[in-house]
Structure 1
Amino acid sequence: MSVRNTKDGSDKPWLCECYPNGREGKRIRKKFATKGEATAFELYTMKKVDEKPWLGEKVDNRKLSELIKRWYELHGQQLAQPETRLRKLQLTCNGMGDPVASKITINDFANYRQMRLDGEIEDFQGKKTKVKPNTINHEHAYLNAVFSELKRLGEWTHPNPLEGLPQFKIEDTELAYLYPEEIPIVLDECRNAEYEHLVTIVMVCLATGCRWSEAENLKGSQIAHNRITFVKTKGKKNRTVPIAQELANMLPRVRGPLFRPCRRSFERAIKRTGLIFPEGQMTHILRHTFASHFMMNGGNILVLKQVLGHSDIKDTMRYAHFAPDHLDDAITKNPIAELLCGS
């Protein structure tokens, strides 16, 4: 395709000659008085063919990496840990070969997740490591959220390629918690740790059900009138939990950060106790301990939801079975209840 001056002496010496559908397609030729008119016609003709109105909207040839970048600009950077989420999405994108997003199919992601399970895809450190189904489910949810959010914002008009693909079913993990006789053992070892405030952090977790990071990152401004206000939480909502005067007296009286990072000190203290915790619950067991004992002592499940800062009651219902009268009807309303009671 080209625009050229024929120099034929006519009043329309500028010729536009183009092949909108390639050299094998139909040729279009038209003459104009000026070069500008010929160039404009060429652009108009090629654009009309490129749009293909009979096929619907223009084909979206953006790659998955471009969509992830756009999602991050419009939404992702507002999340609690934006850089971490972005890196995980980029890992998925690279593992899938950064395909054209509009051409991704359910089968493409299904193949990707199987390769992740088999350890055929490099992780952040460039190592090929097998991952657990739960990790795959998180990656599935993250990528699904990218398409859903862009669709909501009007940035994506195609169907969500992951729609209809179920996540792996994961067995409920063991909700380990400290028994009443184990709590003093843990606290004693924490008192003997190299960091003087380790026991205070542990007691804050046990008394409020907060996450380890929420307690470890406390500042003086978050403590007032025997109440702790947790900020920058996982659910992005502040929550305030009352504490006993005795615990309030243990907290350092400073305006800035109250503690220094000491997770390793806690792990060493637990190792000295000889207690064995389920994998991945080293510090989270303190949160489980609060919630479990709260319900065993007759606490209200809705109050527990507020204290823990759960956005979905389903997360809190994991602790419902600790209530003293949970499913007690199973004892009196089973088909052999009278037989058992009469024996």
Structure 2
Amino acid sequence: MTEVRYDWTQEEISKIYHSPLLDLIFRAATIHRENEDYAEVQISSLISIKTGGCPEDCAYCPQAARYNTGVDVHAIMPKEEVIAVAQKAKNGGASRLCMGAAWREVRDNRDFDKVIDMVKAVNAMDMEVCCTLGMLTESQAQRLADAGLYAYNHNLDTSEDDYKRIITTRTYDDRLQTLDHVRKAKISVCSGGIIGLGETAQDRISMLKTLSNMPKHPESVPINALVPVQGTPLAEQPRVSVWDMVRMIATARIIMPKTVVRLSAGRTEMSTVEQAMCFMAGANSIFAGEKLLTTPNPSFDEDMAMFQLLGLTPRKAFKNGRPNVSKEIKEMSINEVI
């Protein structure tokens, strides 16, 4: 069985990343197959519960208020709409619902109260609930945990050295601090990055080093390919090669063997064969549904056809156990939280 390590060096990861592609895929696939459920893929659905108007300056993001990208600003969704979307996603095979809000940080106000109610409602549907809401304090993370939040997504995006080129409105340490608050609240950590931002291979490797050297590896690591959006500073970036995606996924699988590695944004540009290479290299999670926040994504039907062809099976919710929430929350029915 592969040893789980937390002391990978830049040089070790670089050697893995730059190894001959077929050797890299074979090594990653071998490690992946040490898990008896290697053909099991977690399906998540991502919805934007509050869209646009974000004060941050993330160079890739169409939801930043300072860019003219054609994204309509929408206030927070009603809980009933979220439940309807969650039910559709569950019917389509998703076991996790991730709710994203275009905020810089969570504020203790009525909108956060609404998010807490949404978390309770989706949790009562026997779906894992994930949120991505920006920066969190310790008390806010604990409040989400108490409501039954299963996972929190907060991506590093790129390396610490490259970060200031992409975002200036918050620091890399801000990102890491939020992840620390999430971990202290015993919420599972979802954190990865984006490739195709104009970063170097060493930036990619450095980001993987940061993730793999955490005291506990993130339970989920999304690998996103940039989807360039007109109006953002990175609108003219060339599409990233599928082989770069395969290298990132395979390297992540080797250095974080127990982590769920998610093939995330950019799948609409990939053929079934290219996605199959990503699964071979160790990807065992996808986002399904027509949209990822504001960018296109393959439909549930397309993904189910691909799963059947490749012999993949959807992973059930709460495979690693339910979060440590109060008995009252655990025993809630969906009718009690609507």
The structure whose residues are more often strand, as a share, is: 2
The TM-score bracket by the shorter chain reads: under 0.3
* TM-score computed with the length of structure 2 as normaliser: 0.19
* TM-score computed with the length of structure 1 as normaliser: 0.19
Q: Structure with the greater relative contact order (CA < 8 A, sep ≥ 6): 1 or 2?
A: 2
Rg larger in 1 or in 2?
1
